[in-house]
Structure formats: structure tokens, C-alpha cells
Structure 1
Amino acid sequence: MAAPTAVRGAERDERGRGLRWRRGRRGAVPRVRPRRGWDAVYKRELQTFQEYGDTGEIWFGEESMTRLIRWMQKHKIPLDASVLDIGTGNGVFLVELAKFGFSDVTGIDYSPSAIQLSGSIIEKEGLSNIKLKVEDFLNPSTKLSGFHICIDKGTFDAISLNPDNAIEKRKQYVESLSRVLKVKGFFLITSCNWTKEELLDEFSEGFELFEELPTPKFSFGGRSGNSVAALVFQKT
């Protein structure tokens, strides 16, 4: 099976067409869908989970979750630190965080079906210390604030590729992130649609690069590179 395609910079379709989530060796990579499209996807995944116990895709694969948890462990992030998973989807990463010992974990998604799916998976795991909310991160409620850690695995990618005023939506995302994250808090982002340099530019206001995380490399046609970018920013 081929490695996932990383669509970067000028290679993007300007209107977001032809871009989709693909299952590859390293997990799923972004697809543009309207909100109702994502809700339909999670309704199907909820039905599949109820019938077969299949939790669905893990965006960027299991190694992406391990990479982030290891970083948190390395930097001795307290287990009672407040953690927000932006665009939690099926909530599998929330489950991993809770199993590792994090006790103040919140997942948001603008799809009610995603939150319903997350809740079903979390309930089956017997976990009760995970908070779930239906929230549009581009227009978050005032109660969504004060987080020590914010995590994004693919949500910024999906927002960025939206053909409806993507530039403005990216600005809204950064503004929302600044509102919900504490000063000196950390933002961990994994992206397959943006290079390190592009992400540095997107988050240049109010954030500084704290660390670049190692990610898998690929070679094709005599060229090599990273299939994803994984960066840690700190709010200034």
C-alpha cells in the first residue's frame, strides 16, 4: 500500500477540490467535506461501532498519538493539566490520554455525530473523566478557555482546505486558539498539508516554536521528505 500523499504549498487545489482523507500506511490524510458531510461520516462510523465495535480511522495513525504522549511525558506535563483535543472525531486520542493518566481532558467537535460516537467509545472503555462538547472551534463559546495544552491532528488541515474563504477561516482558527490556550500553554499540531515553514508563518502572531517532533520520512522519485509535520508551539 502506498504511503499517504502530502499535499503542500502550491500543490494544493486552490478551491480544495480533489482532496480527501485516504487510508494509507500512516493513517488518514485530509479530505474537504462540508459540515453535513462530516456528520454523515460519523453517523456511519457510529453505526459501524455499534454493530462491529470498530472505532474507525485514527488520523495519522497510532504513532501520531504515541509521539504526542511521549512529548508530554518527556516534558513532565502534569497529569492534571487541562488538555483540549480540537476536532476530536471518534475520541480515540482522548481515550489514550485518559489511560495514560491525564485527568482533565476535553474533546470538541462541530459534528454532533462525532461527539455521540466519542461518547459511545469512551463509555465502552469505562472512562468517566473525559468531557465532550459540540463546539465550532472557529466560534467557540466563552466557557471554552484556560487550557494548558491544545492538540490538533488534522482539524487545521481540514479547515485550511475549505473552499469557502479558507484564508479568513485560518485567521479565525489562530484567534480562537489564542483565546482558549493559557499564556505559556502548548499547542501540538500534526499536519500533512503544511510544511514546518508554512506552519511557522500561520502561527507567527502570539506563538513561538518550542520544538519540532520527529516524523516518518519517505522517498519517491529520488526526492525525500517528511510525510507529516509535527510541531509544538508555545503561546507568548
Structure 2
Amino acid sequence: MESNECTRAGQDCSQTEDELVRGDFTTSKLGTKEYWNDAYRRELQTFKDIGDVGEIWFGEESMNRVLRWMEKENVPGDAAILDIGTGNGVLLVELAKSGYTNLTGIDYSAASVELARSVLRTENICNVEIKEVDFLSCTGELGCFDVCIDKGTFDAISLNPENTEEGKACYVQALRGALKENGLFVITSCNWTKEQLLQMFSQGFDFVKELPTPQFQFGGKTGNIVTAIIFKRLH
């Protein structure tokens, strides 16, 4: 994500809950399906030409952070895991290499799905299911997962210039439908702080922990470059 879309990280956390939920950053083309279709068509062609998988969202450390947490929490190898907005599928590759065998990735971009499948084939990984699915429209269609992972998809939905609030509400509803009771949701965001995420996922989810992420200082305040939160789905 472009750096000017990540300006939320160091904000003043004394804001009211209404201000936190409403947000004050500007919507962007990064929230549109057209943008991501174009981006993944380019990445797909680049992969076909030179084998470059493209951008790793939030960098490799963001993947390693999640993998370390899963190992520490002893998430079993056969746990049903959903990668929401899989992009190039690199997270699924790393999960498979770490021994996880029940993996599904979804994305609403057909080019993303083709790219992810191509990357997985190149890595000789055959036991991962990739689906072309719009998460906001799939309530009840995905089945029950033990773990759902999001690295930037909720951010993109939040940036959509059209129906932004409706999109966020649909996301929460779809997530409840995708997770088993007591299932875990791992979200990494560069647009939302811990306090904002806790408020937006307050209905139907319980806070488990915050994963440590890089910090910065500006104007005497300390903030996080990204926020990584674990939630548990309530009954």
C-alpha cells in the first residue's frame, strides 16, 4: 500500500469512539475492484515473464509475525485456515511450507486467483484451494474456518469511495459466517489503530492479543507503522 494511505498509525488516540469508527482518512482508488484487477493483471504478466511474484503486502515480516504466533499458540497443522484477499498467494505458500494442510485463499480479482494458482504450482504446492470470491457477498458460502487471516483487505474495503460503511459492516458479518465459534481472526492493518479495530469488531468478537509491530516517533508521540490484532469469534 502506498505510504500516504498509512497515515492513521500515529494518530492521537484520545479521540471519541464515534470519531474512531467514522475515521478521517480520505477514500482512495486503492479501495476499488478496478484498481486491484489492473494491479494483478500487471503482476500476473510480470510473473509469466520473469517469475517475480510481486509485492508482499506489508513485507515478509508481516507473514513471519503471523507464522510465529500460530506456532506459539500451537495451531494444529490440519486447522482450516482462510486467507482473505489472498493476492499473489505468497502467505499460503509460507503456511503450506510450515506444515499447514487445510488452506483456502479467496480474492475477488480473477487475475489474483490466476496469479496465486500459478505461484503455488511453481512451488509444487497442490493441496491449497483458491477461489474467486467477493468476501462481502459470501456470507454462509465458505463454511467454518478455525483461523481467518487478513493482511490489508479490510484496509482496502475501508478505502472504497462507495458504500464504505456498508462495506465494513458486510465484512464483519461475512467474517462471523466464515469463522467457527471460538475461531481466531488475525488482522494486520496500516489504516486502523488497535483502539479503532477493537471498536469495529466489538460485535461478536473478543480481543485476544496485540502482536508487536514496528514503532515510530513523531512530534513527541509514539505510534505503530502497522497494527496486528488477534480476535476470537464469540457464539
Structure 2 residue identity aligned to 1:75: E
Please state how far the C-alpha of 1:35 moved relative to its aligned partner.
1.1
Partner of 1:22: none
What number of residue pairs does the alignment pair up? 220
Please give the TM-score of this superposition, normalised by the length of structure 2: 0.89
Distance apart, 1:32 and its partner CA: 1.8
Whole-angstrom CA distance in 2 between matches of 1:106 and 1:74: 22
Aligned equivalent of 2:222: 224
Give 5+ residue unaligned stretches, structure 2. 9-19
Aligned twin of 2:17? none
**How far is the alpha carbon of 1:36 from its aligned partner?**
2.2
1:163 Cα deviation after fit: 1.2
Q: CA deviation at 1:222?
A: 3.4
After superposition, the C-alpha distances for 1:95-118 in whole angstroms (9 at most, x for unaligned) are 000000000000000000000000
Mapped partners of 1:151, 1:80: distance in 2 = 16
Unaligned regions of 5+ residues in structure 1, if any?
A: 18-30
What letter is aligned with 2:99?
Answer: G
Alignment match, 2:7: 7
* Equivalent residue in structure 1 for 2:37, among 27, 36, 39: 39
| Residues 1:157 and 1:116: Cα distance change in structure 2 (over 3 Å) | same
The answer (yes or no) to whether the contact 1:152–1:190 under 8 Å persists in 2 is yes
**2:132 corresponds to:** 134
Alignment of 1:94-173 (within 5 A): 94-140=92-138, 142-173=140-171
2-structure distance, mates of 1:79, 1:197:
32
Match of 1:190 in 2: 188
Q: CA deviation at 1:123?
A: 0.3
Q: CA RMSD in A?
A: 1.6
Q: Find the residue that maps to 2:173 and give its secondary structure.
A: helix
Please state if 1:177 is matched with 2:175.
yes
Note the alpha carbon deviations across 1:127-159, whole angstroms, 9 max, x for none: 001100000000116440110000000000000
Scaled by the length of structure 1, the TM-score of the pair is 0.89
Q: Once the 2 structures are TM-superposed, how far is the Cα of residue 5 of structure 1 from its aligned partner?
A: 6.2
Q: Which amino acid aligns with 2:25?
A: R
Which of 42, 60, 66 does residue 68 from structure 1 map onto?
Answer: 66
Asked if the contact 2:140–2:174 (Cα under 8 Å) also holds between the matched residues in 1, the reply is no
CA contact (8 A) 1:138 1:173 kept: yes
For 2:7 and 2:159, the matched residues in 1 are separated by 10
Distance 1:220 1:53 in 2: 39
Hey, what's the Cα distance between the residues in 2 that align with 1:92 and 1:50? 16
Q: Which AA in structure 2 matches 1:196?
A: K
Q: Which one has more relative contact order, counting CA pairs under 8 Å at least 6 apart?
A: 2
Counterpart secondary structure, 1:88: coil
Specify the SS of the correspondent of 1:32. helix
Shift of 1:167: 0.6
Structure 2 contact 136–170 (Cα < 8 Å) conserved: yes
Q: Which amino acid aligns with 2:212?
A: P
Please identify which structure carries the higher helix content: 2
